[in-house]
């Protein structure tokens, strides 16, 4: 029998670290206890995993089992498995774990997988960037972020590695959004397809939902009596979890969205608002495909569903809603994030100047 405990400790500087403590009986019947710092662990679950690995090591090799010598430095591919296990033990969001899996499989491991951790230097990173030419800068930068996180984790685990310079590539940050006139064209275009397409456009443009929140929406989340929609969940790469920010939010339903939802509800067969004919969940990529055909027919640029969320925030602000209200309806934690979603149309800029001049003349 064995038992393992995890304890949070504090250093003299006030920093917290984790310690594991286990008692076991060795194969020869000798009782053995070990209490050590869980190196590299940043959470209780991760510390328990470190302690569990050490316990199994002692059972296999005895109490004097030592860490592998540095001649056995793992490759990026070998350590990536351990890194993902630690990330899972820390109970990171399923969507975050899926992004890490995807970045490793698609971008990082094909280039750096066979490279030893201590050989991931500036030259290796330069080679990675060179071989990822043609890939979107945001995608490359996301991979660089994960490479840095993996190397820092390896260092915390006791491997003698250095984190090289991970200078990000310049990204284009020009926000894409739809003017009020373009939004009305999208609504009229969606109406020609049917209630499903109309609800899709209105959930993004009249309620500000993200694509994953639209995919995850259930009929039980909609209060038709009080005309309130509650955003409770997010669906990303087949994993359902809480919305971004891990907070629910309630959004009043506009009149046209209410009518469209009621029309679609009359035909509903499954718990989710959007499903495939066989009842399976609709992925965000499928919703984007539906929106692309709507935008094409409307003869407006296909900026994507998220551009409608930008339009939602802009129209709210221009209609006189306060910044705090817009922030809460968009589900943001910080006002500076909300400011990214607020754009002014040319007519509104002109009317603002006109109002200022009238005020001066009065």
Can you give the pLDDT at residue 217? Answer: 96
CATH code of the domain occupying 180-349: 1.10.443.10
Q: Which residues contact 290 (CB under 8 A, 6 or more apart)?
A: 196, 197, 200
- pTM (two decimals): 0.62
- Cβ–Cβ under 8 Å, residues 210 and 244: yes
- Cβ–Cβ under 8 Å, residues 68 and 117: no
Given CA atoms 148, 72, 69, 85 in this order, what sign does their dihedral have?
Answer: positive
Q: Which residues contact 281 (CB under 8 A, 6 or more apart)?
A: 215, 235, 238, 272, 274, 275
Q: How large is the average pLDDT for residues 194-222?
A: 94
Can you give the pLDDT at residue 175? Answer: 64
Query: Is the predicted pLDDT of residue 40 greater than 90, yes or no?
Result: no
Q: What is the pLDDT of residues 220-230, one digit of tens each?
A: 999 999 999 99
Using pLDDT thresholds of 50, 70 and 90, give the confidence band for residue 354: low
Kindly state the percentage of the chain with pLDDT values over 70.
Answer: 89
Using pLDDT thresholds of 50, 70 and 90, give the confidence band for residue 239: confident
Strands (E), the chain: 3-10, 16-25, 31-37, 222-223, 228-231, 234-236, 239-241, 249-252
Of 46-55, 168-177, 180-189, 316-325, the poorest mean pLDDT is in 168-177
Q: What is the pLDDT of residues 45-91, one digit of tens each?
A: 888 888 888 888 888 888 875 554 445 688 999 999 989 988 888 87
- Cβ–Cβ under 8 Å, residues 217 and 272: yes
Using pLDDT thresholds of 50, 70 and 90, give the confidence band for residue 355: low
Q: Which residues contact 160 (CB under 8 A, 6 or more apart)?
A: 70, 73, 118
At the second CATH level, the architecture of 71-156 is: Orthogonal Bundle (1.10)
Please state, in angstroms and rounded to a whole number, the distance separating the CA atoms of residues 261 and 329.
19
Can you give the pLDDT at residue 107? Answer: 95
Query: Is the predicted pLDDT of residue 13 greater than 70, yes or no?
Result: no
Domains of the chain by residue range: 3-66, 71-156, 180-349
Q: What is the pLDDT of residues 247-296, one digit of tens each?
A: 899 999 999 999 999 999 998 889 999 999 888 999 888 999 999 999 99
DSSP letters for 259-302:
HHHHHHHTT--SSBSSB-TTSPBPPHHHHHHHHHHHHHHHTS--
Q: Is 208 exposed, middle or buried (0-12, 13-18, 19+ CB in 10 A)?
A: buried
Q: How large is the average pLDDT for residues 10-35?
A: 82
Tokens linked to 334: 């910080």
**3-class SS of residue 69:** coil
């Amino acid at each position: 029998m064995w038992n393992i405990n995890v304890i949070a400790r504090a250093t003299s500087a006030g920093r917290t670290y984790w310690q594991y403590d286990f008692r076991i009986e060795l194969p020869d019947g000798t009782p053995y206890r070990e209490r050590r710092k869980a190196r590299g662990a940043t959470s209780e679950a991760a510390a328990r995993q470190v302690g569990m690995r050490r316990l199994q090591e002692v059972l296999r090799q005895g109490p004097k089992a030592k860490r592998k010598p540095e001649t056995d430095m793992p490759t990026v591919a070998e350590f990536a498995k351990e890194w993902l296990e630690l990330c899972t033990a820390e109970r990171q969001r399923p969507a975050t774990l899926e992004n890490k899996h995807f970045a490793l499989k698609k971008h990082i491991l094909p280039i750096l997988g066979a490279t030893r951790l201590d050989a991931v230097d500036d030259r290796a990173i330069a080679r990675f960037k060179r071989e990822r030419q043609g890939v979107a800068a945001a995608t490359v930068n996301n991979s660089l972020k994960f490479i840095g996180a993996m190397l820092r984790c390896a260092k915390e685990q006791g491997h003698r590695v250095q984190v090289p310079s991970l200078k990000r590539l310049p990204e284009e940050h020009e926000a894409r959004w739809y003017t009020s006139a373009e939004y009305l064209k999208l609504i009229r275009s969606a109406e020609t397809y049917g209630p499903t397409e109309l609800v899709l456009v209105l959930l993004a443009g009249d309620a500000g939902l993200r694509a994953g929140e639209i995919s995850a929406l259930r009929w039980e989340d909609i209060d038709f009596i009080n005309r309130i929609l509650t955003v409770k969940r997010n669906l990303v790469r087949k994993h359902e979890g809480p919305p971004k920010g891990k907070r629910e939010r309630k959004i009043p339903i506009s009149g046209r969205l209410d009518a469209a939802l009621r029309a679609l509800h009359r035909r509903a067969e499954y718990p989710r608002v959007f499903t495939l004919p066989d009842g399976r969940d609709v992925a965000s990529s499928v919703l984007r495909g539906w929106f692309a055909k709507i935008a094409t027919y409307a003869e407006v640029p296909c900026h994507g569903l998220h551009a409608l969320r930008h339009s939602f925030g802009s129209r709210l602000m221009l209609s006189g809603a306060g910044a705090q209200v817009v922030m809460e309806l968009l589900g943001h934690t910080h006002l500076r994030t909300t400011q990214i979603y607020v754009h002014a149309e040319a007519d509104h800029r002109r009317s603002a100047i006109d109002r200022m001049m009238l005020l001066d003349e009065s």
